[in-house]
């Protein structure tokens, strides 16, 4: 992230004054450093009064309501305190936009690494550790699914009623909205576009137990400990809500490579891949830590393929209208095709 970007959006003097008002550590802000993240959000690490902080705030023009996203993230992270869900510890949150022009929060730095970028030598050199890394990400999803969102004060975070019933209709409407982009040929060459939607509607689980959903649960959105295979934290909570937590396990399955590390376009992988468990092993591991009914888990994986494929197709449509690079649009369209082919494999199509 360019220096000019965060300096325009984070007034360090105002941040310091706000921290003073919160009773946090005092002194100059030291070693202010932008961090790379999985999104366009601003992440700044700095020290003050002998303590390390990470600030998170939305960019100048967020895709969604950036301040509301920050409020939701901070609320969930605060609610997870004391749980067995690995997460960045919330230090303090500013829900209003007066201080920095948008809501923001401060969290504890995570001592960990993103495995999709590069494995440390300990993990790269031991297939058994990599196997346990895969099991650990399933454990993280199961732990999140065990949290009682009502007891955690999150009962009004999302609309759990009819959550599953709304999914296909919502994402079908999203796909149709792309027709506003001139030149987009439509979804006709996406394999099984109607068959997958119809199958999802016919086979939708009749009921579920509501809980917290991360919303984008895959290998790139977790950080691992340097000293072993366990998760250091689940990160990037911008899509978190209340719904059916099995959505996260389905998303993990949809983006998980096969036993050889080959994935359909849209998968999230690591090098080297040998040793990592299969998707079916992830489901079995999740079952060990959950009382949820997994008999229809493939439905959730198919839904994840459907939703993610439609999201990626949006860039393809925008590229036809000159609002995104053609190369990027073509690449993401290939990902959409791969995801729908994976879905068809699950439904026997």
Query: Is residue 67 included in any domain, yes or no?
Result: yes
Domain containing 44 — which CATH number? 3.30.200.20
Mean pLDDT of 173-192: 96
> Does residue 265 share a domain with residue 156?
yes
Same domain, 73 and 143: no
Average pLDDT value over all residues in the chain = 93
Considering all CA atoms of the chain, what is the largest pairwise distance in Å, rounded to the nearest integer? 63
Q: Does 97 fall in a domain?
A: yes
Question: Span 283-295, mean pLDDT?
Answer: 97
H-assigned helices in the chain: 3-9, 12-21, 66-79, 121-124, 127-146, 163-177, 193-202, 246-254, 279-288, 297-320, 326-347
**Span 224-245, mean pLDDT?**
97
In tens, the pLDDT along 128-172 reads 999 999 999 999 999 999 999 999 999 999 899 999 999 999 999
What's the pLDDT band for 27 if we cut at 50, 70, 90? very high
Q: How do residues 80-89 score in pLDDT, each as one tens digit? A: 999 999 999 9
pLDDT in the model for residue 2? 42
- Asked, for residue 113, whether it belongs to a domain, the answer is no
Domain count, the chain: 2
- The more confident residue out of 72 and 263 is 72
The CATH number of the domain where 243 resides is what?
3.90.1200.10
- In the DSSP assignment, the letter for residue 113 is B
* Residue range 50-59: mean pLDDT, rounded: 95
pLDDT reading at 39 higher than 70: no
Cα 141 to its chain centre, rounded Å, is 12
Domain range for 49 is: 3-107
The more confidently predicted of residues 212 and 349 is 212
């Amino acid at each position: 992230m360019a220096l000019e970007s965060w300096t325009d959006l984070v007034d360090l003097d105002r941040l310091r004054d706000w921290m003073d008002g919160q009773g946090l550590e005092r002194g100059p802000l030291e070693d202010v450093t932008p961090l790379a993240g999985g999104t366009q959000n601003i992440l700044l690490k700095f020290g003050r009064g002998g303590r390390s902080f990470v600030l998170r705030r939305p960019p100048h023009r967020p895709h969604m309501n950036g301040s509301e996203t920050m409020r939701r993230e901070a609320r969930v992270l605060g609610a997870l305190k004391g749980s067995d869900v690995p997460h960045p510890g919330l230090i303090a949150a500013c829900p209003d936009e007066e201080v920095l022009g948008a809501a923001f929060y401060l969290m504890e730095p995570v001592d960990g690494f993103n495995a999709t970028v590069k494995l440390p030598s300990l993990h790269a050199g031991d297939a058994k550790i990599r196997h346990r890394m895969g099991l650990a990400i399933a454990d993280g999803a199961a732990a999140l699914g065990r949290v009682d969102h009502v007891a955690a004060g999150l009962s009004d975070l999302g609309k759990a009623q009819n959550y599953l019933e709304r999914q296909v209709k919502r994402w079908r409407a999203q796909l149709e909205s792309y027709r506003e982009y001139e030149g987009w040929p439509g979804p006709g060459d996406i394999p099984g576009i109607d068959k997958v939607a119809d199958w999802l509607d016919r086979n939708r689980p009749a009921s579920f137990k509501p809980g917290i959903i991360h919303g984008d649960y895959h290998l790139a959105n977790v950080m691992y400990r340097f000293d072993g295979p366990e998760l250091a934290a689940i990160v990037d909570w911008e899509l978190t809500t209340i719904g059916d937590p099995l959505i996260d396990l389905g998303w993990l399955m949809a983006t998980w490579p096969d036993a050889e590390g080959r994935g359909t376009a849209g998968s999230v992988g690591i090098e080297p891949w040998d040793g990592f468990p299969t998707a079916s092993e992830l489901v079995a591991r999740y079952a060990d830590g959950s009382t949820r009914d997994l008999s229809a888990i493939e439905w959730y994986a198919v839904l994840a393929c459907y939703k993610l494929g439609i999201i990626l197709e949006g860039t393809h449509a925008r590229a036809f209208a000159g609002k995104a690079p053609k190369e990027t649009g073509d690449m993401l369209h290939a990902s959409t095709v791969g995801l729908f082919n994976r879905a068809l494999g699950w439904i026997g199509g």
